[in-house]
A and B are shown apart, each in its own frame.
Chain A
Amino acid sequence: MPLPVIGLPALLQAIATIGVGGAVGYKAQKDLQPVIKALKNSPEDMGNSELKMLRALLLPTQAIASEVKDLTSKSVPKSTGDGLVFGPDADQIEKEKKDLEIILKPPTRAPEPVKPVIEIFPGDPIEAPEIPTTKQPEIQTTEGFPDLSEELNKPQIFEQKESKGIMGTNSQEGGKIIKDVTAGVSAQEDTVPSLLEQGQLAKPIKDFFNENDQVVNYKIGDTIGAYGGTVERSLDIEANVKPDFNIDTFGEVIKERAKQFNQDAVFVAESVPSNFEGANVGFSLDFGSDLKMKDALNISNQLSETAQLDGFTFKVKNLDTSGSSIYLPQNIIDAELTEKAIKSYGLTDEINKAGFIMPDGKMLNFSRNGKVRDTEHRRVNLTMGGSDVNDFAPMYDFMNKTGAIRLTGNANRLYAELSAKPSNTQLKKIVDEYNNNREKYDSMIISITVPGKDNAQFGQEKTEAQEKGIDLRKQDYRLPNEAFYEVHGEKANATDIINKFKSTDITGKTFTGIRQLNIPDFSNISDAEALQKIRNLQNNMGEFIESTGLKTLDKPQTKFYNTKLYTKGKDY
């Protein structure tokens, strides 16, 4: 979070009529503003900041829609207009914790890198050997699977099951909630933080909540905030706490996170009585209807332009997608292309030789030496008449068109990458391979390549290999591939995998409201000036509703907050 001019009031003043609680950040706002505005019309360049915004919106999320109080009170599916939304119960939360502990265990040993290979298939164009040079190193001789060497020790604390984020319940005081606590913190600087980084950011906060006996329950969600017209990935933090909860102690945790991730400003806030000295007014607004990702992006722009809102955090929820398959594109299979690929590469029954597994379970033979897979996946482009074997885009096109899953089974980590909804046959075959060969694999990862806009942008020809695909997990250069299911030293479960894919909810992610709008500069202005700001907000919101096509905004809810803003250099 970038540095505000002078404290929260100035920060919020700078963003016009009101400021909004949430993850605060204004980095590169002005620079990004034109790009943001252009996003709606020109999302083609997959490597620019537009992509980062889209990417942020497309990232799988753990945030949930239910109010925190709902988290502790609802344990049965709730029917909505869009499907079922499941509230957690105590058993689910406990299972979540156990799953997190499993995820946090590092792999037993580092995977061996896939050896670079250069192969020529019959009919392939023969490439002249290159003269070694130091000026233009060939960086695409290795596969684009994650470079796990730098990531193995990073904690991954997000587990995505159904629609839940990180949450916990320490105790329940007869259902009586004393007060609520929120915080705004982001890990974003120049690039959208990965899910792993989000996890790193969140973990000490989670630990703090778990260990603090004043915390009744909490939620840490992966969400998105809009600041200065751009979009930042951030955490949605809420906790219900007992009266003796020390907000300053919590502030120390948040400051430490801000320091580690080089953020310029963070805040913590607790609800207080109206007569609390310095109490500010905070509004929560729920949209009358759930918004899809692109709509939410549009809303963020309109909030900045029309309602003069320059910062807010979306309240998000995931839809349960049981039976609907909206969480991944389910494309019509191109039978002709499938047949062509089978004819070009042949089939194999051995997964260590396979490059792709088709929806019917058949595996394309990507082994020329007859021992292991020694052919890069990207060369499947040759099957489609292309000649570029460095670009990943045609490979994803192939996967989207055929339903193929990319496989790497020739190392000690079984890796499968999806870009479309998998068939049960595919999943079963992969899981069986892992479970039946436990001595062969240390772990298994199944990941999803997040599709671009309208699920069709990823396979564009302009995707340049040398700018993208270097490292999936760093995610600096390509769309994220992070909704992975990962197991170490245990058996995999196909049902868990399916549930996890559902939870990624890539196309089903919805945005349902805005949280904790604060009146800027509240403590430094008169009552009359504060009222005028509220009326300005009210008037602007009317225009905003009209201009965005939102049918309604629900009646705002007001709470009073004791907000503490911390800035780099001054407070940490």
Chain B
Amino acid sequence: MATVKGLYDLIKKEQAEGKPIGMFEQSIIDAFEADNGDKTTKEVDVSFVKNKDETN
């Protein structure tokens, strides 16, 4: 019985073996990793709050 995780693992295994990965397989990898927080990048929010009282 196929599962998303099983499919992902299989694609990654074949990828590691040097088999070419197509756009559909890559899309599954991207979605799975995004879903599981396995990102290679992360979002960072930066805000600047100016001190209202600049004399302090």
User: B-contacting residues of A (Cβ < 8 Å)?
Assistant: 273-276, 279, 281, 283, 519, 522-531, 534-535, 537-538, 541, 555-560
Contacts and interface: CB of A to CB of B under 8 A. Distances in A.
A535 B1 contact: no
B7 to A, nearest CB: 5
| Complex A-B, nearest 10 residue pairs according to Cβ-Cβ distance, in ascending order | A558-B31, A527-B6, A530-B2, A538-B22, A558-B27, A274-B4, A274-B35, A556-B27, A527-B10, A527-B2
Contacts of A523: 1-2
B interface majority secondary structure: helix
13 contacts: A274-B32, A276-B4, A522-B2, A523-B1, A527-B9, A534-B22, A534-B28, A535-B24, A535-B25, A538-B24, A557-B31, A558-B31, A558-B32
B5 A556 contact: no
Contacts of A538: 22-25
B23 A530 contact: no
Contacts of A560: 4, 31, 35
Interface string B2-33: 11111111110010000000111111101110
A523 B3 CA distance: 7
A274 B22 contact: no
Contacts of A530: 2, 7
Contacts of B8: 274
Q: Chain B contact residues (Cβ within 8 angstroms of A): what range?
A: 20 to 34
Contacts of B30: 558
A445 B47 CA distance: 56
A274 B5 contact: yes
B30 to A, nearest CB: 7
Nearest to A517: B24
A528 B5 CA distance: 12
Nearest to B26: A555
Contacts of A273: 35
B2 A529 contact: yes
B40 interface: no
A69 to B, nearest CB: 16
A428 B35 CA distance: 56
Given A274-B35, A558-B28, A531 B1 contact: no
A535 B23 CA distance: 10
B27 A531 contact: no
A527 B8 CA distance: 9
Contacts of A529: 2
A567 to B, nearest CB: 22
A557 B27 CA distance: 6
B55 interface: no
Contacts of A559: 31
Max chain B CB contacts within 10 Å: which of A519, A522, A558, A560? A558
A528 B14 CA distance: 11
A556 B23 contact: yes
Given A273-B35, A274-B31, A538-B24, A531 B10 contact: yes
Nearest to B36: A274
A401 to B, nearest CB: 50
Contacts of A535: 22, 24-25
B42 to A, nearest CB: 18
B23 A527 contact: no
